């Protein structure tokens, strides 16, 4: 099978994982999103472009499937996917480096998400738990943007750390051919 076909297939699987994770999170009103496990898979295994593509396509499909907020937040997913691919693709990670790299992945994307949440939606999103926290923090000195940023930063960090650790652990157990496309001779 052609290497490009294998890569596109992996991105499609990543998008499907994002959609399933998002639906599980919404169904159970979880305080984390689970919509970026596939993004992190594509970013870590294939690199920044694949991570960004998985986030964008997954967000657009989730939007069409009923979560209109996902369309707008897919742009912060792209930022996370690109940065995660840049920091994790073909690189060894220790526990400490995974912790700080996850923060680097999350910080700019959380700022973008806070802008989207504040200026487009007035602090309201499809995630009831985070909407409640943002609205409560908006009544403090943080105001709406500060509350949205702090909430996004904390929930994004926990969510992305879970996703990245899950992908790193699982990718070590996948067959070599499923995680190392660049070195293969495909017919």
pLDDT digits (tens, 9 = 90+) for 86-106: 999 999 999 999 999 999 999
Supply 185's token pair.
């001779």
From residue 84, how far is each of 44, 72, 154 by CA, in Å?
Answer: 7, 20, 17
Residue 185 pLDDT > 60, yes or no?
no
The pLDDT-based confidence of 187 (bands split at 50, 70, 90) is very low
- Of the candidates 30, 32, 26, 82, which has an alpha carbon nearest to the alpha carbon of residue 54? 82
The pLDDT-based confidence of 32 (bands split at 50, 70, 90) is confident
CB 156 within 8 A of CB 106: yes
Supply 108's token pair.
């700019």
The domains located in the chain, with CATH, are 3-177 (1.10.1760.20)
DSSP per position, 5-66: HHHHHHHHHHHHHHHHHHHHHHHTT-SS----HHHHHHHHHH-HHHHHHHHHHHHHHHHHTT
pLDDT value at residue 139: 96
Mean pLDDT value of segment 143-167 = 96
Mean pLDDT value of segment 123-134 = 89
The DSSP code for 65 is T
pLDDT value at residue 179: 82
Greatest Cα-to-Cα distance within the chain, rounded to the nearest angstrom: 61
Residue 183 pLDDT > 70, yes or no?
no
Predicted TM-score (pTM) of this structure: 0.92
Residue 174 pLDDT > 80, yes or no?
yes
Mean pLDDT over the full length of the chain:
93
pLDDT digits (tens, 9 = 90+) for 61-80: 999 999 999 999 999 999 99
pLDDT value at residue 1: 67
Question: How many angstroms separate the CA atoms of 159 and 127, rounded?
Answer: 13
């Amino acid at each position: 099978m052609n290497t490009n076909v294998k890569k596109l297939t992996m991105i499609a699987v990543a998008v499907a994982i994002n959609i399933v994770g998002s639906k599980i999170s919404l169904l159970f009103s979880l305080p984390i999103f689970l919509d970026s496990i596939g993004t992190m898979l594509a970013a870590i295994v294939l690199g920044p472009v694949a991570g960004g593509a998985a986030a964008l396509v997954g967000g657009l499909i989730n939007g069409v499937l009923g979560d209109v907020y996902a369309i707008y937040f897919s742009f912060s997913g792209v930022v996370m996917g690109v940065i995660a691919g840049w920091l994790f693709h073909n690189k060894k990670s220790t526990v400490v480096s995974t912790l700080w790299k996850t923060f680097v992945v999350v910080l700019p994307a959380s700022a973008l998400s806070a802008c989207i949440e504040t200026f487009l939606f007035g602090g309201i999103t499809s995630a009831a738990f985070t909407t409640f926290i943002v609205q409560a923090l908006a009544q403090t000195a943080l105001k709406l943007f500060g509350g949205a940023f702090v909430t996004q930063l904390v929930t994004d960090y926990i969510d992305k750390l879970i996703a990245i650790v899950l992908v790193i652990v699982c990718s070590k157990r996948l067959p070599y051919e499923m995680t190392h496309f660049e070195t293969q001779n495909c017919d």
